[in-house]
Amino acid sequence: MALEPSGESGGGGLTAYIVHHLTHNVVYVAGQKFHFDSWMVALLLGLLGCFLLWTQARKATAGVPSKPQAFVELVVEFVDSQVKDTFHGDRRFIAPLALTIFVWVFFMNAMDLLPLDLPAGIVTAVAGEEAAHHTYLRWVPTADVNTTFAMSITVFFLIIFYSIKAKGGWGFTKELFTAPFHAHGTFAKIVLAGPNLFLNLVEYLSKPVSLGMRLFGNMYAGELVFMLIAGLFMSWITFPFGLVANSVWAIFHILIILLQAFIFMVLTVVYLAMAHEHH
């Protein structure tokens, strides 16, 4: 395992503090950098989400539900209602997909609420301050563009799959060259084939880009605000003010965490519904 250099300049201070916290823990796979921290945290949170939902499903009863079971049922019904209102085809795959996205993205976003210097504090307690200075861990996977684009590209392939499933291979290919500008006559179809293809490619490619960048931008900005607040109030004199500022931002940030998980889920369902229903 190799770590990326911190990139800290001789100035130190707030800049060095932020640069350190923005540095990923990196391993090299086939000669390419791989953000091990984002992958590991995302994997563990995904497994945790599956485990929590499984435990409540296993203990589900027809009688009066426990508080955890009632909460899980509330989330499941909420997601299912969103899918039912948007996607009018077979929901047996779409509804579980939407639930997985919502829970997983929420868990990854919620890591932003944990104390920023907790990993460094644990490493310092175990191995000393010098080891903490050279240990890098970013534990908000959705603040890493690689994570958000991995999810959005997966959604993109699902869009292509449902487009071909609904229209057939020839129908999907034909639509790329004949929509949105429908023409009558061979010459007009040939003339408009190029513009139609260009517009369709822009439409298809803009979906994963906007989906991934929206989530990344919001979570990266939120993480950076936490770093700025923590860096500006590092002394013992200003620490109480920093604690208040961080608490206020964390309360507001909870809304962003929930909203971004909801938006990613809803847009995924909307895109798949468009692919499935548009002919």
Q: Please, what is the average pLDDT of the chain?
A: 86
Q: What is the pLDDT of residues 150-186, one digit of tens each?
A: 999 999 999 999 999 988 999 899 989 988 888 788 8
Residue among 38, 109, 163, 218 flagged as catalytic = 218
Between CA 199 and CA 81, with CA 267 as vertex, the angle to 5 degrees is 140
Dist CA 273 CA 87 (whole Å): 5
Number of Cβ atoms within 10 Å of the Cβ of 126: 9
> And the tokens for 18?
């932020």
Closest residue by Cα to residue 176 from 186, 185, 189: 189
Residue among 9, 206, 210, 247 flagged as catalytic = 210
| Out of 58-67, 220-229, 230-239, least confident range | 230-239
Number of Cβ atoms within 10 Å of the Cβ of 264: 26
Q: What is the pLDDT of residues 199-213, one digit of tens each?
A: 999 999 999 999 999
6 counts as catalytic:
no
What residue segments make up the domains of the chain, in order of their start?
Answer: 64-117+141-277
Dist CA 56 CA 52 (whole Å): 6
218 counts as catalytic:
yes
58 counts as catalytic:
no
Dist CA 112 CA 185 (whole Å): 57
